[in-house]
């Protein structure tokens, strides 16, 4: 049996306008494999195709060419989705629900019965440190608190694969450290994690393996332990130093 949880083969994504004319080639012939139990980092500058790749893996976008498989099946299949947890780049919570109701709602969508959903919600709220505000509406939460609720709702169905899009975005340093510890703990329990991040230090701390995307193509990848330099140096060597931005010229 293959050990690959996610398999992308020759994946291309071309966005088109209303008249179906191609506008952007966001992903260009990408091959990717995420293995069971590893923490895989998808890195790259803005517009490199990370989010598009994640959305194709989740079945939220259809690839123009190539194949995407999750657990050996289509990402749109119920079986694949029942083993998945997803934290989007922004939390996108229902503002009129309380934190507890939010978790119970998503637990219900994962077919957990009422009692189990309630217990699971309480456990997760405890885990993300929101037990004290469990019955407050999330519309009034800070960005960091919303992020924790979103992370808890990604975990509510006890997924085998966790997809985290910029998980530390909007979190203070303490919360960031907690999220990183949580990811490590989940990985230690055998959960597979796919994570995207702009913060190379975060990726370096938690990832076993990375892939760097630029202009929709894979430009480098490998095990963190085998890079031979810091991730930041490796990244700048492969992607460039961002000279296009000409910040120094502007400031001068």
Confirm or reject binding of residue 97 to other proteins (CB under 8 A). yes
User: Is the Cβ of residue 4 or residue 90 nearer to other proteins in the bound state?
Assistant: 90
Q: Which stretch binds other proteins (CB under 8 A): 32-40, 83-91, 172-180, 205-213?
A: 83-91
Taking phi over 0 as left and psi of -120 to 50 as alpha, with beta for the rest, 180 belongs to alpha
Q: Which stretch binds other proteins (CB under 8 A): 91-99, 123-131, 182-190, 210-218?
A: 91-99
Confirm or reject binding of residue 61 to other proteins (CB under 8 A). yes
Q: Which stretch binds other proteins (CB under 8 A): 84-92, 121-129, 169-177, 224-232?
A: 84-92
What is the Cα–Cα distance from 98 to 165, expressed in whole angstroms?
23
What is the Cα–Cα distance from 59 to 33, expressed in whole angstroms?
16
- Integer-rounded Cα Rg, in Å, for the chain is 19
What is the Cα–Cα distance from 53 to 45, expressed in whole angstroms?
14
What is the closest distance, in whole angstroms, from the C-beta atom of residue 92 to other proteins in the complex?
A: 5
| Start-end of H helices in the chain | 50-58, 78-81, 99-109, 114-127, 143-155, 173-188, 200-206, 231-239, 247-251
Confirm or reject binding of residue 90 to other proteins (CB under 8 A). yes
With CB under 8 A as the contact rule, the residue among 2, 10, 62, 119 that binds other proteins is: 62
Residues that bind other proteins (CB under 8 A): 55, 58-62, 76, 78-79, 81-82, 84, 86, 88, 90, 92-94, 96-97, 101, 105-106, 108-113, 153, 157
């Amino acid at each position: 049996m293959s050990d690959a949880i996610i398999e992308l083969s020759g994946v291309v994504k071309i966005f088109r306008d209303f008249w179906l004319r191609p506008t952007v080639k966001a992903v260009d012939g990408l091959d990717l494999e995420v293995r069971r139990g590893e923490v895989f980092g998808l890195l790259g500058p803005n517009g490199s195709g990370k989010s598009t790749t994640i959305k194709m893996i989740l079945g939220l976008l259809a690839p123009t060419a190539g194949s995407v498989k999750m657990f050996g099946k289509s990402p749109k299949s119920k079986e694949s989705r029942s083993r998945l947890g997803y934290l989007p780049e922004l939390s996108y919570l229902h503002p009129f629900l309380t934190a507890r109701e939010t978790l119970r709602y998503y637990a219900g969508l994962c077919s957990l019965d009422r009692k189990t959903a309630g217990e699971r919600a309480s456990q997760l709220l405890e885990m993300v440190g929101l037990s004290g505000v469990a019955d407050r509406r999330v519309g009034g939460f800070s960005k960091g608190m919303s992020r924790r609720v979103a992370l808890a709702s990604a975990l509510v169905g006890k997924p085998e694969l966790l997809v985290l899009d910029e998980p530390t975005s909007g979190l203070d340093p303490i919360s960031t450290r907690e999220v990183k510890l949580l990811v490590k703990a989940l990985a230690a329990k055998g959960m597979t994690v796919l994570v995207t991040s702009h913060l190379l230090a975060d990726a370096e701390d938690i990832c076993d393996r990375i892939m760097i995307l630029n202009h929709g193509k894979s430009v480098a990848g490998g095990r963190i332990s085998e890079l031979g330099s810091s991730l930041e140096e490796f990244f700048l060597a492969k992607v460039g130093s961002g000279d296009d931005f000409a910040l120094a010229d502007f400031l001068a």
